[in-house]
Amino acid sequence: MLIQKTNVEGLVIIKPRLLKDARGYFFESFSQREFEEKVRKVNFVQDNESMSSYGVMRGLHFQLPPFTQSKLVRCVKGSVLDVAVDIRKGSPTYGEHVAVELSEDNHLQFFIPRGFAHGFAVLSEVAVFQYKCDNYYAPQADGGINILDEGIGIDWKIPTDKAILSEKDTKHPLLRDFESPFEYGMELYK
């Protein structure tokens, strides 16, 4: 796997080594050993998958402590714009985001550590999105930043009139009104 660092500490884009021949292709989508050597130690405990149609926007989600999650995400069908926003108090990149297109064609993965809000927008007719989590889902710990927060400056690549949003995702606070429970530099995020 090839690791591409981003301008926000902790967020990395992963490109697998693709082996192609006349039959198709093969790649290792995850290796615990290689991930720990090149990214960081992590223990994934839950895999999730969602299917969405064009224009669906999900996020910007996180789980509150002590149920916080790191995620390793990828799109196995179609394409999405995947976004992570730094919400770690004291971080030199607080409020900044990284956006990456993940698709069935580029096979890229995006690692999002604890202390980030995460969301995605479906760019293709249909997208199947998968993610590994290092903590179990806890509905009582759901948190979020408003996905339409213009102050963050995300270009979702979806016209507003084509966006399909849940009511819940539009009721989260704006980043400027949010009191983050995450601290930059805590052992949790290293």
**Which residues are catalytically annotated?**
61, 131
Q: Before 60, cis peptide (omega within 30)?
A: yes
**Structure token pair of residue 167:** 């009511």
Q: Kindly report the backbone phi and psi dihedral angles of residue 80, in degrees, each rounded to the nearest multiple of 5, phi listed first.
A: -135, 155
Phi-psi region of 107 (alpha: psi -120 to 50; beta: other; left: phi over 0): left
Q: Are 6 and 98 in contact (CB under 8 A)?
A: yes
Cα torsion angle, 10, 11, 17, 23, sign? positive
